[in-house]
Chains A and B, each alone.
Chain A
């Protein structure tokens, strides 16, 4: 299983892996917002956490279509499915999700504080947003894996995955953003939405891989 994790990380960072594509897209989204909204520093600081979250969410969805498709095209997916007796397929999917997260999404979380400066955010708000992204983005990858597994056989499945997955990621977005605001706006709570966010990640860490495994099992042809 460690071998699978290391292989996927290597594939992510080598040529054509797409680890940087997400970060560059994230940068593009955040960098254009101040031009669109205008030079109102207060407004930018206020919408900052929400914009960072939306940017990260969209960047997460960007690379998801290749999660299983690359393995399907070269025949590896067949062998991963056949290995079900030794490594439960849902566990294999979970490892692939973790590798995808570490390779493609973790760079977004690391880039988020820097991009927060573009939005004139305070240090506390930047820290809180980065923390909620760190805890919340795995949930997006897990639920995205289910969408990627359903659309694995479609040649242009990327958009379909986004449409399938986006409604399911809305709760993650809501609690992520409200926890980020809770850290700075005084009457709002931080801990409660943050804990719900953590619970969502844990819940989807089970539901996502199990449903993705089910879809992959019945999707072989």
Chain B
């Protein structure tokens, strides 16, 4: 599978935020997007996911086959919000996303163990701390399979141990042929990642 952006431009509220972005990612490769606040990192991720229209150029996926015909169907998008309901328990939240997104080969309990939240699946999501919420949202990436991960500041609020654990998860995902695109200010521990500097 290949993710290809050609001369990609995105706008927000009628103003061009970035333009002329080119990259091509193969199976197992990753891209780290860096740049100052307001450089358009989040906008770039939302344009790639298809949540915002492409202002110029193109971004597409090749070789996804019948299972993943478009980027939207092939990607996990982890934005600033965690997309979990505070009134439901962590396990209920994850069960919902697993059923809704489909392609689940990892169980909810197993995913929670993997992110270090084993045994707290019964707690309401609203009771968790910021870092725990982020880890629960990361568990959401695991419960259903998607080859492309679009991550917006994925490690915001995580402690050192969780950062390292998440780096391991991304490494495993890439090892299985997955692609990771991450916007970040912090080093993510992605070995051999391509780097895209925005706003310079």
Chain A interface SS verdict (over half): helix
B98 CB, nearest partner CB in chain A, Å: 8
Judged by a CB distance under 8 angstroms, whether B116 is at the interface is no
Whether B85 and A81, one on each chain, are in contact in the complex, defined by CB atoms closer than 8 angstroms, is no
Q: Which residues of B contact A4 (CB under 8 A)?
A: 96, 100
Judged by a CB distance under 8 angstroms, whether B156 is at the interface is no
Judged by a CB distance under 8 angstroms, whether B114 is at the interface is no
Whether B85 and A11, one on each chain, are in contact in the complex, defined by CB atoms closer than 8 angstroms, is yes
Whether B52 and A220, one on each chain, are in contact in the complex, defined by CB atoms closer than 8 angstroms, is yes
Q: Which residues of A contact B86 (CB under 8 A)?
A: 74
Fill in one digit per residue for B88-106: 1 if any A CB lies within 8 Å of its CB, else 0.
1000100111011110000
Interface range, B side: 20 to 34
Q: Within the assembled complex, what's the spacing in Å between the Cα atoms of A220 and B52? A: 7
Interface range, A side: 20 to 34
Whether B95 and A3, one on each chain, are in contact in the complex, defined by CB atoms closer than 8 angstroms, is yes
Whether B75 and A82, one on each chain, are in contact in the complex, defined by CB atoms closer than 8 angstroms, is yes
Fill in one digit per residue for A1-20: 1 if any B CB lies within 8 Å of its CB, else 0.
11110110011001111000
Q: Within the assembled complex, what's the spacing in Å between the Cα atoms of A2 and B97? A: 12
Closest residue of chain B to A7, judged by CB?
B96
Fill in one digit per residue for B68-82: 1 if any A CB lies within 8 Å of its CB, else 0.
011011010101111
Indicate whether A87 sits within 8 Å of B100 (C-beta atoms), given known contacts A78-B83, A82-B49.
yes
Q: Which residues of B contact A14 (CB under 8 A)?
A: 87-88
Q: Within the assembled complex, what's the spacing in Å between the Cα atoms of A160 and B46? A: 28
Judged by a CB distance under 8 angstroms, whether B16 is at the interface is no
Residues of B bordering A, CB below 8 Å: 12, 46, 49-52, 69-70, 72-73, 75, 77, 79-88, 92, 95-97, 99-102
Residues of A bordering B, CB below 8 Å: 1-4, 6-7, 10-11, 14-17, 73-76, 78-87, 220-221
Q: Can you list 15 A-B pairs with a CB-CB distance of less than 8 A?
A: A4-B96, A6-B96, A7-B85, A7-B96, A10-B87, A16-B87, A74-B81, A74-B85, A75-B80, A81-B51, A82-B51, A82-B72, A82-B75, A86-B101, A221-B12
